[in-house]
Structure formats: structure tokens, C-alpha cells
């Protein structure tokens, strides 16, 4: 049985780019950490980097929250880059077609390079 850990989210803003760093499991209990953190971003945020490097576990409810965030960002014309996913969750994101809303990168440097090139 998987022992759940509380999700934490930190935001680092730099100009019009915000990095959302998630830590812990992302599940239905993560709504405030995921959507609450997103909704409190500065209004002039244009690029968002989602950091999953400290997320050991994502369940279907957690993925649903991420999808909601991605759709809201898309409606607001915000570009989203994602990094730090395990190979398993890269497959899951790809199978779900989430690359329509976010680009998947191996690490933060690659994600930042993609925003710089945007």
C-alpha cells in the first residue's frame, strides 16, 4: 500500500515566468496545492513551468487536477512546460494527449530553454 504524503507547492516567479514546484503525492487531496497555487499566480504570468521532480506518485484524481490547471492556462494563453516526470508518468501524460497543453522536458534547464525560445 502506498503511504500518501501531503502535497506542497512553491512558486518562484521571475518576470513573466512562474515555476510551480510540487512536492509529495498529487491526489484528490492536492486541489489547494495545485489549483489554488495556480490561481494565485501573478496576473502577468505568461509562462509556467511545472516541476514534478519531487512527486513520487500521481493518481487519476491528481492527474485530473493537472489537466484542469492545463486547460485553465490554455484559456488564459499561458504557455506551460512540464519537467521532472518519471518515465511512467511521461507515458501517461502522452497517452492522455496532454502534450496538446504542455511540453514535456527531462529537466528544468530544458524547460527554461523552451520558454526562452517561445
Bridge partners of 105? 83
5-28: per-residue pLDDT in tens? 789 999 999 999 999 999 999 999
3 within some domain = no
Number of domains making up the chain: 1
pTM of the shown model: 0.93
Residue 90 lies in a domain: yes
In the block, residue with C-alpha cell 497543453 = 101
DSSP 35: I
| The pLDDT value given to residue 115 | 85
Query: What pLDDT score was predicted for residue 117?
Result: 66
Tens of pLDDT, residue by residue over 40-95, are 999 999 999 999 999 999 999 999 999 999 999 999 999 999 999 999 999 999 99
Question: Does the residue 44 lie in any domain?
Answer: yes
* CATH at residue 82: 3.30.750.24
Which residues form the domain of 56? 8-116
Extended strands (E) in 2-115? 8-14, 17-23, 47-54, 79-83, 103-105
Residues 6+ apart with CB under 8 A from 45: 13, 16, 17, 18, 78
pLDDT of residue 116: 78
Amino acid at each position: 500500500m502506498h503511504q500518501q504524503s501531503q502535497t506542497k507547492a512553491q512558486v518562484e516567479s521571475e518576470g513573466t515566468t512562474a515555476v510551480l514546484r510540487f512536492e509529495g503525492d498529487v491526489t484528490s487531496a492536492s486541489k489547494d496545492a495545485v489549483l489554488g497555487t495556480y490561481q494565485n499566480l501573478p496576473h502577468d504570468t505568461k509562462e509556467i513551468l511545472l516541476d514534478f521532480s519531487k512527486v513520487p506518485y500521481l493518481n487519476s484524481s491528481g492527474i485530473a487536477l493537472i489537466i484542469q490547471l492545463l486547460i485553465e492556462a490554455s484559456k488564459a494563453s499561458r504557455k506551460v512546460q512540464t519537467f521532472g516526470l518519471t518515465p511512467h508518468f511521461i507515458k501517461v501524460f502522452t497517452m492522455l494527449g496532454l502534450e496538446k497543453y504542455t511540453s514535456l522536458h527531462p529537466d528544468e534547464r530544458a524547460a527554461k530553454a523552451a520558454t526562452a525560445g517561445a
